[in-house]
Amino acid sequence: MNSEFYTMSNSIIQLDVNYMPVKNQKLFRIPEISMMRRFWLVLLAMFMFVERGESQYFPPPESQGSWRKNTSDEFLLSLGVDPVRLEEFGLWNVQDDFGGTSIGDKSCIVIKDGWIIGEWYADKDGRLQTVEASRKKINWIASNNKSVAIILFGAALKDRGKWNIPEDLSLESKVYDKRWLPEGFPLSDPRKASITFDMLLRHRHTSGIKPESMGIERGGGRSSIAYTVGRHEEFKDASILFYDPGHPEQILPKSSYTSVGYNHLTVIFRNLVGKPAWQYLEEKILTPIGVTQHGYYTEVEPQYIPWLKEDIRWLASGTGGLSLSPREYARVSYLLLNDGKWGDIQITPDGWIERFRLSTHYANMKRNIEGWWTQTYDRYGPGFHAVIETTPDDAFTIGGAGMSWAVIVPSQNLIALRSSRVSGVPWDPVVAEFHRKLSRSLIGEKPEPINRRKQAELVQNQALPGQIIIDPENPSKLAYNRDTDQDGSFLYVWTGRSGGFLISG
Protein backbone atom coordinates (compact mmCIF):
# COMPACT_ATOMS: atom_id res chain seq x y z
CA MET A 1 0.00 0.00 0.00
CA ASN A 2 1.41 3.34 -1.07
CA SER A 3 0.54 6.85 0.07
CA GLU A 4 -0.29 9.71 -2.25
CA PHE A 5 -0.34 13.35 -1.14
CA TYR A 6 -2.33 16.21 -2.59
CA THR A 7 -1.95 19.86 -1.56
CA MET A 8 -5.22 21.76 -1.16
CA SER A 9 -5.02 25.37 0.06
CA ASN A 10 -2.70 25.20 3.07
CA SER A 11 -3.54 21.68 4.18
CA ILE A 12 -2.39 18.23 3.06
CA ILE A 13 -4.80 15.35 2.56
CA GLN A 14 -3.41 11.81 2.55
CA LEU A 15 -5.14 8.94 0.81
CA ASP A 16 -4.17 5.30 0.93
CA VAL A 17 -4.19 4.07 -2.61
CA ASN A 18 -3.24 1.07 -4.66
CA TYR A 19 -1.68 2.78 -7.67
CA MET A 20 -1.13 0.96 -10.92
CA PRO A 21 -0.27 2.95 -14.07
CA VAL A 22 -2.04 1.09 -16.87
CA LYS A 23 -2.48 3.03 -20.09
CA ASN A 24 -2.42 6.28 -18.14
CA GLN A 25 -5.28 5.17 -15.88
CA LYS A 26 -5.07 5.25 -12.09
CA LEU A 27 -6.81 2.57 -10.04
CA PHE A 28 -7.68 3.58 -6.48
CA ARG A 29 -8.76 1.18 -3.71
CA ILE A 30 -10.45 2.50 -0.59
CA PRO A 31 -9.09 0.73 2.53
CA GLU A 32 -11.29 -1.33 4.81
CA ILE A 33 -12.92 1.40 6.94
CA SER A 34 -16.33 2.28 8.29
CA MET A 35 -19.10 3.14 5.85
CA MET A 36 -19.37 6.73 7.13
CA ARG A 37 -15.63 7.40 6.88
CA ARG A 38 -15.60 5.82 3.45
CA PHE A 39 -18.35 8.20 2.35
CA TRP A 40 -16.39 11.26 3.44
CA LEU A 41 -13.14 10.02 1.90
CA VAL A 42 -14.87 9.36 -1.42
CA LEU A 43 -16.45 12.83 -1.27
CA LEU A 44 -13.06 14.40 -0.59
CA ALA A 45 -11.48 12.42 -3.41
CA MET A 46 -14.22 13.60 -5.80
CA PHE A 47 -13.57 17.19 -4.72
CA MET A 48 -9.85 16.81 -5.37
CA PHE A 49 -10.36 15.47 -8.87
CA VAL A 50 -12.69 18.37 -9.66
CA GLU A 51 -10.03 20.71 -8.28
CA ARG A 52 -7.46 19.04 -10.52
CA GLY A 53 -9.74 19.08 -13.56
CA GLU A 54 -8.52 20.88 -16.65
CA SER A 55 -11.59 23.04 -17.29
CA GLN A 56 -12.30 24.26 -13.77
CA TYR A 57 -8.95 25.71 -12.79
CA PHE A 58 -7.38 28.99 -13.81
CA PRO A 59 -4.54 30.42 -11.71
CA PRO A 60 -5.13 33.62 -9.75
CA PRO A 61 -2.69 36.55 -10.21
CA GLU A 62 0.76 36.21 -8.67
CA SER A 63 -0.21 38.59 -5.85
CA GLN A 64 -3.23 36.44 -5.00
CA GLY A 65 -1.63 33.02 -4.80
CA SER A 66 -0.27 32.30 -8.27
CA TRP A 67 -0.23 28.84 -9.82
CA ARG A 68 -0.95 25.78 -7.74
CA LYS A 69 2.14 23.61 -7.49
CA ASN A 70 3.04 20.07 -6.44
CA THR A 71 6.37 18.52 -7.43
CA SER A 72 6.34 15.51 -5.09
CA ASP A 73 7.21 12.13 -6.58
CA GLU A 74 3.88 10.71 -5.45
CA PHE A 75 1.92 13.40 -7.20
CA LEU A 76 3.95 13.18 -10.41
CA LEU A 77 3.45 9.42 -10.57
CA SER A 78 -0.30 9.90 -10.11
CA LEU A 79 -0.25 12.05 -13.25
CA GLY A 80 1.78 9.54 -15.25
CA VAL A 81 5.04 11.50 -15.04
CA ASP A 82 8.48 10.03 -14.32
CA PRO A 83 9.99 12.26 -11.59
CA VAL A 84 13.61 11.39 -12.41
CA ARG A 85 13.33 12.02 -16.14
CA LEU A 86 11.34 15.19 -15.57
CA GLU A 87 14.13 16.52 -13.35
CA GLU A 88 16.67 15.67 -16.04
CA PHE A 89 14.52 17.50 -18.58
CA GLY A 90 14.34 20.64 -16.45
CA LEU A 91 18.04 20.77 -15.61
CA TRP A 92 18.98 20.20 -19.25
CA ASN A 93 16.96 23.27 -20.23
CA VAL A 94 18.53 25.66 -17.72
CA GLN A 95 22.08 24.34 -17.51
CA ASP A 96 22.92 23.65 -21.16
CA ASP A 97 23.63 26.40 -23.72
CA PHE A 98 23.79 23.83 -26.55
CA GLY A 99 27.08 25.25 -27.80
CA GLY A 100 25.77 28.81 -28.01
CA THR A 101 26.15 31.94 -25.93
CA SER A 102 23.83 32.85 -23.07
CA ILE A 103 23.42 36.49 -22.01
CA GLY A 104 20.48 36.14 -19.62
CA ASP A 105 18.77 34.02 -17.00
CA LYS A 106 17.17 30.75 -18.02
CA SER A 107 14.01 29.05 -16.85
CA CYS A 108 11.88 25.99 -17.51
CA ILE A 109 8.34 25.26 -16.29
CA VAL A 110 6.15 22.19 -16.86
CA ILE A 111 2.42 22.43 -16.14
CA LYS A 112 0.07 19.45 -16.14
CA ASP A 113 -3.67 19.68 -15.44
CA GLY A 114 -3.16 23.22 -14.18
CA TRP A 115 -0.46 22.19 -11.69
CA ILE A 116 3.15 23.31 -11.89
CA ILE A 117 4.90 19.96 -11.63
CA GLY A 118 8.39 21.19 -12.43
CA GLU A 119 10.10 24.57 -12.19
CA TRP A 120 13.79 25.36 -12.67
CA TYR A 121 15.84 28.56 -12.84
CA ALA A 122 19.50 29.30 -13.51
CA ASP A 123 21.66 32.31 -14.28
CA LYS A 124 23.31 32.80 -17.66
CA ASP A 125 26.17 30.47 -16.67
CA GLY A 126 23.85 27.64 -15.65
CA ARG A 127 24.14 28.09 -11.87
CA LEU A 128 20.83 27.06 -10.33
CA GLN A 129 18.75 29.77 -8.65
CA THR A 130 15.89 29.43 -6.19
CA VAL A 131 12.32 29.67 -7.43
CA GLU A 132 11.50 32.47 -5.02
CA ALA A 133 14.44 34.58 -6.17
CA SER A 134 13.80 34.08 -9.89
CA ARG A 135 10.13 33.50 -10.70
CA LYS A 136 9.28 37.23 -10.74
CA LYS A 137 12.12 38.29 -13.03
CA ILE A 138 10.87 39.76 -16.29
CA ASN A 139 12.35 38.29 -19.47
CA TRP A 140 12.23 39.37 -23.11
CA ILE A 141 9.87 37.02 -24.97
CA ALA A 142 10.85 38.29 -28.43
CA SER A 143 8.62 37.03 -31.24
CA ASN A 144 6.31 35.20 -28.89
CA ASN A 145 4.61 38.59 -29.23
CA LYS A 146 3.49 37.54 -32.69
CA SER A 147 1.38 34.85 -31.05
CA VAL A 148 0.06 37.47 -28.63
CA ALA A 149 -0.91 39.59 -31.65
CA ILE A 150 -2.86 36.67 -33.11
CA ILE A 151 -4.82 36.39 -29.85
CA LEU A 152 -5.44 40.14 -29.76
CA PHE A 153 -6.77 40.21 -33.32
CA GLY A 154 -9.21 37.49 -32.32
CA ALA A 155 -10.30 39.66 -29.39
CA ALA A 156 -10.78 42.59 -31.78
CA LEU A 157 -13.13 40.48 -33.90
CA LYS A 158 -15.26 39.91 -30.80
CA ASP A 159 -15.30 43.69 -30.29
CA ARG A 160 -16.72 44.45 -33.74
CA GLY A 161 -19.10 47.36 -33.52
CA LYS A 162 -17.19 49.01 -30.65
CA TRP A 163 -14.83 51.99 -30.94
CA ASN A 164 -13.74 52.18 -34.59
CA ILE A 165 -13.91 48.44 -35.25
CA PRO A 166 -16.28 47.87 -38.19
CA GLU A 167 -18.75 45.00 -38.27
CA ASP A 168 -17.19 43.62 -41.46
CA LEU A 169 -13.62 43.22 -40.08
CA SER A 170 -12.39 39.67 -40.71
CA LEU A 171 -9.35 37.65 -41.69
CA GLU A 172 -10.34 38.20 -45.30
CA SER A 173 -10.31 41.99 -44.87
CA LYS A 174 -7.56 43.92 -46.61
CA VAL A 175 -4.74 45.15 -44.39
CA TYR A 176 -4.38 48.32 -46.42
CA ASP A 177 -7.78 49.89 -45.77
CA LYS A 178 -8.10 53.62 -45.09
CA ARG A 179 -10.48 52.93 -42.21
CA TRP A 180 -7.75 51.38 -40.08
CA LEU A 181 -4.47 52.12 -41.87
CA PRO A 182 -4.69 55.62 -43.37
CA GLU A 183 -0.94 55.98 -42.79
CA GLY A 184 -0.38 53.53 -45.65
CA PHE A 185 -1.89 55.70 -48.37
CA PRO A 186 -1.16 56.35 -51.12
CA LEU A 187 0.13 52.81 -51.55
CA SER A 188 3.87 52.48 -52.03
CA ASP A 189 3.24 49.37 -54.13
CA PRO A 190 -0.12 48.72 -55.87
CA ARG A 191 0.07 45.04 -54.96
CA LYS A 192 -0.42 45.96 -51.31
CA ALA A 193 -4.11 46.39 -52.06
CA SER A 194 -4.50 42.58 -52.12
CA ILE A 195 -2.80 41.81 -48.76
CA THR A 196 -5.29 40.29 -46.30
CA PHE A 197 -5.06 39.78 -42.55
CA ASP A 198 -5.16 36.07 -43.31
CA MET A 199 -1.79 36.45 -45.07
CA LEU A 200 -0.31 38.16 -42.03
CA LEU A 201 -1.92 35.88 -39.46
CA ARG A 202 -3.32 32.45 -40.35
CA HIS A 203 -1.12 31.95 -43.43
CA ARG A 204 1.64 33.83 -41.73
CA HIS A 205 4.37 35.61 -43.65
CA THR A 206 2.78 35.35 -47.09
CA SER A 207 2.07 39.06 -47.59
CA GLY A 208 5.13 39.96 -49.68
CA ILE A 209 6.16 42.61 -47.11
CA LYS A 210 9.90 42.79 -46.63
CA PRO A 211 11.26 39.48 -45.25
CA GLU A 212 14.12 39.43 -42.79
CA SER A 213 16.01 37.17 -45.19
CA MET A 214 16.33 40.18 -47.50
CA GLY A 215 18.39 42.27 -45.11
CA ILE A 216 18.27 44.63 -42.16
CA GLU A 217 14.89 46.03 -41.18
CA ARG A 218 15.45 47.57 -37.75
CA GLY A 219 17.19 50.58 -36.27
CA GLY A 220 17.14 54.31 -36.86
CA GLY A 221 14.41 55.43 -39.22
CA ARG A 222 13.35 51.85 -39.77
CA SER A 223 11.81 51.88 -36.29
CA SER A 224 8.89 54.02 -37.41
CA ILE A 225 5.39 53.88 -38.77
CA ALA A 226 6.58 55.46 -42.01
CA TYR A 227 9.02 52.62 -42.63
CA THR A 228 6.47 49.97 -41.66
CA VAL A 229 4.02 51.11 -44.34
CA GLY A 230 6.80 51.70 -46.88
CA ARG A 231 6.65 55.49 -46.94
CA HIS A 232 9.96 56.47 -45.31
CA GLU A 233 11.80 59.02 -47.47
CA GLU A 234 15.27 57.75 -46.56
CA PHE A 235 14.73 53.98 -46.32
CA LYS A 236 13.01 52.64 -49.43
CA ASP A 237 13.67 48.94 -48.80
CA ALA A 238 10.16 48.37 -47.39
CA SER A 239 8.32 50.40 -50.00
CA ILE A 240 7.95 47.57 -52.51
CA LEU A 241 6.77 44.00 -52.00
CA PHE A 242 9.33 41.27 -52.47
CA TYR A 243 6.84 38.84 -54.01
CA ASP A 244 3.19 38.82 -55.00
CA PRO A 245 0.92 38.54 -51.93
CA GLY A 246 0.08 34.91 -51.26
CA HIS A 247 3.01 33.57 -53.30
CA PRO A 248 6.06 33.10 -51.03
CA GLU A 249 7.37 30.45 -53.41
CA GLN A 250 8.52 33.30 -55.65
CA ILE A 251 11.51 33.97 -53.37
CA LEU A 252 12.49 30.35 -52.64
CA PRO A 253 14.81 29.27 -51.11
CA LYS A 254 14.71 32.52 -49.10
CA SER A 255 12.48 32.64 -46.03
CA SER A 256 9.39 34.85 -46.25
CA TYR A 257 9.35 35.46 -42.49
CA THR A 258 8.73 39.15 -41.76
CA SER A 259 8.57 41.28 -38.64
CA VAL A 260 7.64 44.40 -40.60
CA GLY A 261 4.39 42.69 -41.57
CA TYR A 262 3.43 42.14 -37.95
CA ASN A 263 4.33 45.72 -37.03
CA HIS A 264 1.40 46.82 -39.18
CA LEU A 265 -0.88 45.32 -36.54
CA THR A 266 0.50 47.60 -33.82
CA VAL A 267 -0.60 50.64 -35.85
CA ILE A 268 -3.91 49.05 -36.88
CA PHE A 269 -4.91 48.16 -33.31
CA ARG A 270 -4.32 51.78 -32.30
CA ASN A 271 -6.56 53.05 -35.09
CA LEU A 272 -9.28 50.47 -34.42
CA VAL A 273 -9.69 51.25 -30.72
CA GLY A 274 -8.50 54.85 -30.49
CA LYS A 275 -5.82 54.13 -27.91
CA PRO A 276 -2.23 52.80 -27.97
CA ALA A 277 -2.05 49.10 -28.80
CA TRP A 278 -0.36 48.31 -25.49
CA GLN A 279 -3.40 49.63 -23.60
CA TYR A 280 -5.74 47.48 -25.66
CA LEU A 281 -3.44 44.50 -25.08
CA GLU A 282 -3.60 44.97 -21.32
CA GLU A 283 -7.36 45.49 -21.33
CA LYS A 284 -8.26 42.48 -23.49
CA ILE A 285 -5.58 39.91 -22.59
CA LEU A 286 -3.11 40.70 -19.83
CA THR A 287 -5.54 41.91 -17.18
CA PRO A 288 -8.22 39.22 -17.74
CA ILE A 289 -5.67 36.39 -17.41
CA GLY A 290 -4.04 37.94 -14.35
CA VAL A 291 -0.70 39.12 -15.77
CA THR A 292 0.95 41.59 -13.39
CA GLN A 293 4.67 40.88 -13.81
CA HIS A 294 5.40 42.43 -17.19
CA GLY A 295 7.09 45.41 -18.75
CA TYR A 296 7.82 47.17 -22.03
CA TYR A 297 11.26 47.79 -23.46
CA THR A 298 12.95 46.47 -20.35
CA GLU A 299 16.22 46.81 -22.26
CA VAL A 300 15.87 50.05 -24.22
CA GLU A 301 18.13 50.08 -27.26
CA PRO A 302 18.61 53.09 -29.54
CA GLN A 303 16.68 51.37 -32.33
CA TYR A 304 13.48 51.46 -30.25
CA ILE A 305 13.55 55.17 -29.31
CA PRO A 306 11.49 56.30 -32.34
CA TRP A 307 8.73 53.89 -31.35
CA LEU A 308 8.68 55.20 -27.78
CA LYS A 309 8.31 58.77 -29.04
CA GLU A 310 5.01 57.68 -30.62
CA ASP A 311 3.91 55.87 -27.40
CA ILE A 312 4.32 52.54 -29.16
CA ARG A 313 5.44 50.45 -26.20
CA TRP A 314 4.31 47.15 -27.66
CA LEU A 315 5.35 45.93 -31.09
CA ALA A 316 3.34 43.01 -32.46
CA SER A 317 6.49 41.66 -34.11
CA GLY A 318 8.23 41.24 -30.76
CA THR A 319 11.43 43.03 -31.75
CA GLY A 320 10.75 45.30 -28.81
CA GLY A 321 8.08 45.82 -26.22
CA LEU A 322 6.36 43.28 -24.01
CA SER A 323 8.40 41.18 -21.61
CA LEU A 324 7.01 38.64 -19.13
CA SER A 325 8.14 36.63 -16.14
CA PRO A 326 8.25 32.87 -16.81
CA ARG A 327 5.05 32.24 -14.87
CA GLU A 328 3.26 35.00 -16.78
CA TYR A 329 4.53 33.51 -20.05
CA ALA A 330 2.90 30.32 -18.81
CA ARG A 331 -0.42 32.18 -18.49
CA VAL A 332 -0.35 33.14 -22.16
CA SER A 333 0.41 29.51 -23.04
CA TYR A 334 -2.43 28.34 -20.78
CA LEU A 335 -4.81 30.70 -22.58
CA LEU A 336 -3.83 29.02 -25.86
CA LEU A 337 -4.21 25.58 -24.28
CA ASN A 338 -7.80 26.50 -23.41
CA ASP A 339 -8.59 27.82 -26.91
CA GLY A 340 -8.68 31.48 -25.88
CA LYS A 341 -10.85 30.98 -22.79
CA TRP A 342 -9.97 32.15 -19.28
CA GLY A 343 -12.46 31.29 -16.56
CA ASP A 344 -15.86 32.50 -17.74
CA ILE A 345 -14.36 34.83 -20.35
CA GLN A 346 -13.99 33.71 -23.97
CA ILE A 347 -11.31 36.16 -25.10
CA THR A 348 -11.12 34.98 -28.71
CA PRO A 349 -13.86 33.59 -30.96
CA ASP A 350 -14.62 29.90 -30.45
CA GLY A 351 -12.19 27.75 -32.41
CA TRP A 352 -9.82 30.66 -33.09
CA ILE A 353 -6.72 28.93 -31.72
CA GLU A 354 -7.61 25.63 -33.37
CA ARG A 355 -7.91 27.38 -36.70
CA PHE A 356 -4.38 28.74 -36.45
CA ARG A 357 -2.93 25.52 -35.11
CA LEU A 358 -3.96 23.76 -38.31
CA SER A 359 -2.52 26.36 -40.70
CA THR A 360 -0.80 25.10 -43.80
CA HIS A 361 2.98 24.77 -43.80
CA TYR A 362 5.17 26.49 -46.41
CA ALA A 363 8.57 25.22 -47.44
CA ASN A 364 10.24 28.61 -46.95
CA MET A 365 8.66 29.46 -43.61
CA LYS A 366 10.64 29.45 -40.38
CA ARG A 367 8.12 26.91 -39.17
CA ASN A 368 6.95 27.04 -35.59
CA ILE A 369 9.43 29.53 -34.25
CA GLU A 370 8.61 33.19 -33.81
CA GLY A 371 4.90 33.12 -34.34
CA TRP A 372 4.50 30.24 -36.77
CA TRP A 373 2.34 27.49 -35.27
CA THR A 374 1.97 24.00 -36.66
CA GLN A 375 1.28 20.75 -34.90
CA THR A 376 4.29 19.09 -33.27
CA TYR A 377 6.65 21.76 -34.55
CA ASP A 378 7.04 21.63 -38.31
CA ARG A 379 5.16 18.34 -38.71
CA TYR A 380 5.70 18.31 -42.46
CA GLY A 381 9.23 19.69 -42.58
CA PRO A 382 12.53 17.79 -42.82
CA GLY A 383 14.39 16.39 -39.84
CA PHE A 384 11.56 15.96 -37.38
CA HIS A 385 10.23 12.49 -38.10
CA ALA A 386 11.70 11.18 -34.85
CA VAL A 387 9.84 13.88 -32.99
CA ILE A 388 6.59 13.10 -34.76
CA GLU A 389 6.71 9.55 -33.46
CA THR A 390 6.96 10.62 -29.82
CA THR A 391 4.85 13.77 -29.67
CA PRO A 392 1.03 13.79 -29.49
CA ASP A 393 -0.68 14.69 -32.72
CA ASP A 394 -2.27 17.89 -31.39
CA ALA A 395 0.90 19.44 -29.91
CA PHE A 396 1.90 22.88 -31.17
CA THR A 397 4.57 25.43 -30.30
CA ILE A 398 4.94 29.18 -29.92
CA GLY A 399 8.38 30.74 -29.67
CA GLY A 400 10.77 33.60 -30.08
CA ALA A 401 14.44 34.49 -30.39
CA GLY A 402 16.76 33.51 -27.56
CA MET A 403 15.34 29.97 -27.62
CA SER A 404 12.23 30.89 -25.65
CA TRP A 405 9.32 28.64 -26.55
CA ALA A 406 6.32 26.79 -25.16
CA VAL A 407 5.11 23.38 -26.31
CA ILE A 408 1.35 23.12 -25.76
CA VAL A 409 -0.45 19.74 -25.80
CA PRO A 410 -4.24 20.08 -25.41
CA SER A 411 -4.92 16.33 -25.35
CA GLN A 412 -2.66 15.93 -22.31
CA ASN A 413 -3.53 19.28 -20.70
CA LEU A 414 0.21 19.89 -20.75
CA ILE A 415 2.52 22.88 -21.20
CA ALA A 416 6.32 22.75 -21.22
CA LEU A 417 8.13 26.04 -21.69
CA ARG A 418 11.61 27.49 -21.52
CA SER A 419 12.77 31.10 -21.44
CA SER A 420 16.33 32.22 -22.19
CA ARG A 421 18.60 34.53 -24.17
CA VAL A 422 20.76 31.94 -25.93
CA SER A 423 22.11 32.74 -29.39
CA GLY A 424 24.32 31.09 -31.98
CA VAL A 425 22.54 27.73 -31.91
CA PRO A 426 20.55 26.01 -34.70
CA TRP A 427 17.03 25.59 -33.36
CA ASP A 428 15.95 22.37 -35.00
CA PRO A 429 18.18 19.85 -33.16
CA VAL A 430 17.50 21.46 -29.77
CA VAL A 431 13.74 21.56 -30.32
CA ALA A 432 13.80 17.92 -31.41
CA GLU A 433 15.69 16.94 -28.26
CA PHE A 434 13.28 19.04 -26.18
CA HIS A 435 10.40 16.96 -27.51
CA ARG A 436 12.23 13.68 -26.97
CA LYS A 437 13.19 14.43 -23.39
CA LEU A 438 9.71 15.71 -22.59
CA SER A 439 8.14 12.62 -24.13
CA ARG A 440 10.42 10.33 -22.13
CA SER A 441 9.23 12.04 -18.95
CA LEU A 442 5.68 10.86 -19.54
CA ILE A 443 4.79 7.33 -18.46
CA GLY A 444 2.67 5.38 -20.86
CA GLU A 445 2.67 3.51 -24.11
CA LYS A 446 4.32 5.02 -27.16
CA PRO A 447 1.74 6.76 -29.38
CA GLU A 448 0.73 5.06 -32.59
CA PRO A 449 2.84 6.21 -35.57
CA ILE A 450 1.18 8.95 -37.56
CA ASN A 451 0.13 8.28 -41.15
CA ARG A 452 2.31 10.95 -42.74
CA ARG A 453 0.89 10.44 -46.23
CA LYS A 454 -2.64 10.99 -44.98
CA GLN A 455 -1.59 14.03 -42.98
CA ALA A 456 0.32 15.54 -45.90
CA GLU A 457 -2.56 14.94 -48.30
CA LEU A 458 -4.86 16.69 -45.86
CA VAL A 459 -2.60 19.72 -45.91
CA GLN A 460 -2.40 19.57 -49.72
CA ASN A 461 -6.18 19.72 -49.94
CA GLN A 462 -6.19 22.77 -47.68
CA ALA A 463 -3.53 24.57 -49.71
CA LEU A 464 -4.29 27.70 -51.67
CA PRO A 465 -2.91 28.43 -55.15
CA GLY A 466 0.80 29.07 -54.95
CA GLN A 467 1.24 27.53 -51.52
CA ILE A 468 4.16 25.20 -51.04
CA ILE A 469 3.47 21.83 -49.45
CA ILE A 470 5.49 18.75 -48.73
CA ASP A 471 5.47 15.85 -51.20
CA PRO A 472 3.59 13.04 -49.37
CA GLU A 473 5.66 10.46 -51.27
CA ASN A 474 8.93 11.89 -50.02
CA PRO A 475 8.20 14.26 -47.10
CA SER A 476 11.81 14.72 -46.04
CA LYS A 477 13.19 15.80 -49.42
CA LEU A 478 10.70 17.40 -51.81
CA ALA A 479 8.01 20.04 -51.75
CA TYR A 480 5.59 21.15 -54.44
CA ASN A 481 2.75 23.59 -54.98
CA ARG A 482 -0.82 22.66 -55.66
CA ASP A 483 -1.51 21.85 -59.32
CA THR A 484 -4.34 24.36 -59.67
CA ASP A 485 -4.65 24.19 -63.46
CA GLN A 486 -4.54 20.38 -63.53
CA ASP A 487 -1.75 20.36 -66.13
CA GLY A 488 0.39 17.98 -64.15
CA SER A 489 3.24 20.41 -63.50
CA PHE A 490 4.66 21.12 -60.07
CA LEU A 491 7.40 23.21 -58.57
CA TYR A 492 9.79 20.82 -56.85
CA VAL A 493 12.06 22.17 -54.17
CA TRP A 494 14.96 20.37 -52.53
CA THR A 495 14.36 21.17 -48.86
CA GLY A 496 17.09 18.96 -47.53
CA ARG A 497 19.76 21.43 -48.64
CA SER A 498 19.85 25.19 -48.13
CA GLY A 499 21.10 26.16 -51.57
CA GLY A 500 19.13 26.31 -54.81
CA PHE A 501 16.04 24.55 -56.06
CA LEU A 502 14.95 22.43 -58.98
CA ILE A 503 12.00 23.03 -61.26
CA SER A 504 10.50 20.05 -63.09
CA GLY A 505 7.19 19.22 -64.72
Torsion of CA 354, 359, 361, 364, to 10 degrees: -120
Torsion of CA 205, 208, 211, 214, to 10 degrees: 150
User: Each residue of 192-202: pLDDT tens digit?
Assistant: 999 999 988 87
The pLDDT, as a whole number, for residue 101 is: 94
- What is the mean pLDDT of the segment spanning 54-64? 84
CATH 2.60.120.330 at 144-324, yes or no = no
Distance, in Å, from the CA atom of 327 to the CA atom of 123, rounded to the nearest integer, reads 17
Reported for 498-503, long-range contacts at CB under 8 A and 24+ positions apart, including other chains, are 498/253, 499/253, 500/253, 501/252, 501/253
User: Each residue of 410-458: pLDDT tens digit?
Assistant: 889 999 999 999 999 888 788 878 988 998 898 654 444 444 445 445 4
User: Each residue of 215-227: pLDDT tens digit?
Assistant: 877 766 787 888 9
State the pLDDT confidence band at 188, using cuts at 50, 70 and 90. Answer: very high
Q: What is the 8-class DSSP label of residue 213? A: G
For residue 14, report the phi and psi dihedrals to the nearest 5 degrees: -110, 130
Cβ 439 vs Cβ 391: under 8 Å: yes
pTM equals 0.76
State the pLDDT confidence band at 356, using cuts at 50, 70 and 90. Answer: confident
Point out which residues pair with 431 in neighbouring strands. none
The three-state secondary structure class of 16 is: strand
Domain positions in the chain: 2-52, 73-136+330-440, 144-324, 465-494
Distance, in Å, from the CA atom of 334 to the CA atom of 342, rounded to the nearest integer, reads 9
Distance, in Å, from the CA atom of 113 to the CA atom of 209, rounded to the nearest integer, reads 40
User: Each residue of 251-299: pLDDT tens digit?
Assistant: 887 888 888 999 999 999 999 999 999 999 999 999 999 999 998 865 5
Distance, in Å, from the CA atom of 3 to the CA atom of 116, rounded to the nearest integer, reads 21
